[in-house]
């Protein structure tokens, strides 16, 4: 034994490198590459997913050099913004009952008038040219599905026309958009996809509309949703790196509100624009702005109303959700797996890695076709053609 210890300094360094490389590969293959977890009650929807959506059964191979959650989140955004060109949309301005306006951007290139339509709801301050939206539009185009991106009030280059904006718990504007698209295309299959906060808006709409939503939408997809808003905000504030992501989103939200303020002036007496502009986290912005805008007593009441965990049994539209176990905005322990396991119309696929709206795969993920896009296209192509 002593002889072996004395020999260590004379072992060539290349051997150390080889051992580290082997150890890394073993870790990657055993702990990173895994078949996603599929959770849903036994029934027709689960059986259909297992039979028709290959990604539900296949292992997810996160990018070898970029499988840490924050890296997936940030680098996915950077890569997509460079890989995916701007999308040419046909813009439609929809005037809402209170005089507010939202922009509906239609991606219809190479599609027929009978092609199915998917309404896409972007995240917190996202709009039609957000890189993750372009990823989904690119995937939809390849299978002949039309998309219409629902840009929230004051986003997507449209000025705010009323003192009311939008929030995660309020689905009034989405209701108007669904009704509008359904009236324009009464005989076409219609679906919807919500990403991050857009997933909260869509989930709340589906839960509150119940069977009414089932008469309008054939299938829904929700990606990287912060299921439990309390846990999501807490997790995003718990360590330095998560907090930096939180502050980045808060900065974008502050800029959006500042633009609103320049468009229409003061919102109402209870909103202090100076406090909002000094807010450092999403929770602080919500405390000083969102809760007052929508009449909540405090931020906890708002987050309780926005959270989806206790509403899933009310959803009647077949809804598939994609989440990552390491999402910095949604800890695995807060995903309502137990509730979903009892719900026949809601299913969740949880990958071991993927971050927040990341899901980068392969050695060099620079192709237009990405995991999130493939998930979108496999699901909607199957649902529109075969599920009743």
The pLDDT tens digits of the residues spanning 351-367 come to 999 999 999 998 887 77
Share of the chain residues as helix, strand and coil, in percent rounded to the nearest 5? 45, 15, 40
Q: What confidence category does residue 127 fall into, taking pLDDT thresholds of 50, 70 and 90?
A: very high
Q: Is 196 annotated as catalytic?
A: yes
Q: Which helix (H) or strand (E) holds 219?
A: strand 219-223
pLDDT tens column, 186-205: 999 999 999 999 999 999 99
N- to C-terminal Cα separation, the chain = 69
In 3D space, the residue among 359, 217, 244, 234 whose CA is nearest the CA of residue 307 turns out to be 234
Contact status, residue 203 vs residue 174, Cβ threshold 8 Å: no
Set 105, 173, 286, 327: catalytic member: 327
53 three-class SS: coil
pTM score over 0.95: no
pLDDT tens column, 282-308: 999 999 999 999 999 999 999 999 999
What residues contact 238, with CB distance under 8 A and at least 6 apart?
none
pLDDT tens column, 158-183: 999 998 899 999 999 999 999 999 99
Contact status, residue 290 vs residue 256, Cβ threshold 8 Å: no
Q: What confidence category does residue 13 fall into, taking pLDDT thresholds of 50, 70 and 90?
A: low
Q: What confidence category does residue 268 fall into, taking pLDDT thresholds of 50, 70 and 90?
A: low
CB neighbourhood size of 127 (10 A):
18
Position 19 scores a pLDDT of 65
Class of domain 41-227+308-386 (CATH, top level)? alpha beta
Set 196, 236, 287, 352: catalytic member: 196
pLDDT exceeds 90 at position 32 = no
Q: Is 327 annotated as catalytic?
A: yes
CA distances, 249 to each of 239, 242, 257, 279 (Å): 16, 11, 12, 11
- CA atoms of 127 and 124, how far apart (whole Å): 9
Q: What confidence category does residue 17 fall into, taking pLDDT thresholds of 50, 70 and 90?
A: low
pLDDT tens column, 239-265: 888 999 999 999 999 999 988 888 877
What residues contact 357, with CB distance under 8 A and at least 6 apart?
73, 76, 77, 123, 132, 195, 196, 223, 224, 372
- CA atoms of 288 and 44, how far apart (whole Å): 45
Set 189, 326, 356, 377: catalytic member: 356
Residue with tokens 């009464």: 186
Q: Is 112 annotated as catalytic?
A: no
Q: What confidence category does residue 4 fall into, taking pLDDT thresholds of 50, 70 and 90?
A: very low
pLDDT tens column, 309-342: 999 999 999 999 999 999 999 889 889 999 999 9
- CA atoms of 386 and 388, how far apart (whole Å): 7
pLDDT tens column, 38-93: 999 999 999 999 999 999 999 999 988 888 899 999 999 999 988 999 999 999 99
Position 12 scores a pLDDT of 59
| Whole-angstrom Cα Rg for the chain | 22
Position 15 scores a pLDDT of 55
pLDDT tens column, 220-233: 999 999 999 999 99
Position 21 scores a pLDDT of 67
In 3D space, the residue among 169, 157, 123 whose CA is nearest the CA of residue 259 turns out to be 157
- Orientation angle between helical segments 371-386 and 44-52, nearest 10 degrees: 120
CB neighbourhood size of 239 (10 A):
11
């Amino acid at each position: 034994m002593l002889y072996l210890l004395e020999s260590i300094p004379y072992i060539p360094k290349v051997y150390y490198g080889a051992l580290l490389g082997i150890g890394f590969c073993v870790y990657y293959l055993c702990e990173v590459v895994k078949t996603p977890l599929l959770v849903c009650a036994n029934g027709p929807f689960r059986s259909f997913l297992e039979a028709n959506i290959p990604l539900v059964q296949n292992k997810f191979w996160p990018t070898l050099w970029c499988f840490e959650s924050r890296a997936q989140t940030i680098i996915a955004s950077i890569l997509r913004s460079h890989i995916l060109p701007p999308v040419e949309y046909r813009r439609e301005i929809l005037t809402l009952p209170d005089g507010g306006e939202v922009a509906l951007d239609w991606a219809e290139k190479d599609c027929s008038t009978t092609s199915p339509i998917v309404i896409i709801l972007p995240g917190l301050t996202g709009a039609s040219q957000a890189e993750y939206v372009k990823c989904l539009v690119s995937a939809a185009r390849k299978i002949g599905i039309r998309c219409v991106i629902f840009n929230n009030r004051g986003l997507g280059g449209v000025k705010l026309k009323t003192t009311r904006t939008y929030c995660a718990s309020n689905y009034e504007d989405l209701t108007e958009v669904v009704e509008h698209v359904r009236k324009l295309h009464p005989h076409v299959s219609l679906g919807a996809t919500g990403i991050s906060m857009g997933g909260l808006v869509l989930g709340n709409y589906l839960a509150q509309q119940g069977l009414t939503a089932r008469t309008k939408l054939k299938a829904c997809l929700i990606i990287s949703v912060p299921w439990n808003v309390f846990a999501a905000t807490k997790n995003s504030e718990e360590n330095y790196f998560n907090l930096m992501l939180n502050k980045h989103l808060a900065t974008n939200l502050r800029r959006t509100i500042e633009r609103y303020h320049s468009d229409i002036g003061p919102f109402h007496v209870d909103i202090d624009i100076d406090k909002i502009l000094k807010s450092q986290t999403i929770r602080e912005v919500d405390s000083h702005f969102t809760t007052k805008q929508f009449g909540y007593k405090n931020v906890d009441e708002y987050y309780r109303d926005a959270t989806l965990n206790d509403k899933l049994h009310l959803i009647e539209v077949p809804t598939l959700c994609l989440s990552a176990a390491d999402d910095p905005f949604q800890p695995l322990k807060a995903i309502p797996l137990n509730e979903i396991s009892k719900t026949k119309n809601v299913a969740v696929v949880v990958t071991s890695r993927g971050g927040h709206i990341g899901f980068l795969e392969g050695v060099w993920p620079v192709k237009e076709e990405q995991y999130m896009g493939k998930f979108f296209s496999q699901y909607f192509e199957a649902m529109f053609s075969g599920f009743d």
